[in-house]
Amino acid sequence: MAAAAGPVGVAGALAYANLPTTANSGEKNIYENGKLTDYGKSLIAKDQAATGGAAAGRGSGAFGSQAEKEAYIRQMAAQIGIDPDTAMRVARSEGFKDFSGDSGTSFGAFQLHVTPNGRGHAVGDQFRHDTGLDPSDPANERQGIDYALQWARKHGWGDFHGAARTGIGQWQGVGSTTDVQIGSVTINTRATDAAGIARDLHSEIKGALNSPSSLATQANTGLTP
C-alpha cells in the first residue's frame, strides 16, 4: 500500500484550476470569475486555523462545511492522478453527506468500512492498521479521504460500492485507461494490449468473446496490437 498523502489544507484545494465556480453541494460560491470570493477566503482562514497541528496526523481532519470537504477531495484527487469529478461522484454515493453508514460500521466521505477486530481486512480496517487512526472519528476524516483516494489509485474503485451504484467502472478516472466497447457494454480497463483487456472483461461477457481482435475499442492511450 502506498503511503497516504499528507494533510493538505483547503487553501491548496481552492487554488486548483478546475474547481467549479459554484460548489456542487449547493453552498456559496468559492470562486467567481477566476478569483476567490469572500466566502472562499473565509474557508482558507478557517482551514489554516483548524489544520495548524495537521502534521501530527490526529485531531485535525474535521471539515467545517460541505464546500470545504468537496474542495479538499477534488484537490487531493487531482494531485494523485484521479479525475476529481469521478472522485466526487463516488463520494456523493458513499458518505459525503452522512458521515456514518452501514449501521455504524462505515465512516467518512468514502465510507471506510470496519469489521470486528479487523478480521475482514476491509479498507477501514487497513486504514486503522496502517495509520493508527480511528476512521469513526470525524477528526480523522481528512486522513481517511487521503487513504481512500490512494487505495483507489492502487486498487481501483471495487471496494467502494458507491462507484458501482453510479455506473463507475473499476479504473474509471484513475490514471490512464482504455474503454472497451462490446455492443452496448463498455468496460473500463487499464490494459493497453488485447490479452490484458481480455483479462479485465467482466465474467458475464467472457463467453461471448471469439477473439481479442473482435473487440471494438475506444482508447485514450492507444491499443497495442
Residue 47 has pLDDT above 70, yes or no: no
**pLDDT tens track for 9-21:** 444 444 443 444 4
Q: Which long-range contacts (CB under 8 A, 24 or more apart) does 48-53 make?
A: 48/9, 48/11, 51/7, 51/9, 51/142
Q: How far apart are CA 109 and CA 94, in angstroms?
A: 6
**pLDDT tens track for 208-218:** 444 444 444 44
pLDDT given for residue 29 in this prediction: 65
**pLDDT tens track for 48-81:** 565 544 433 444 577 888 899 999 999 999 999 9
**pLDDT tens track for 131-181:** 999 999 999 999 999 999 999 999 999 999 889 888 998 899 887 655 566
CA-based nearest residue to 70, from 84, 55, 80, 59:
84
Domain spans in the chain, listed from the N-terminal domain onward = 10-165, 178-219
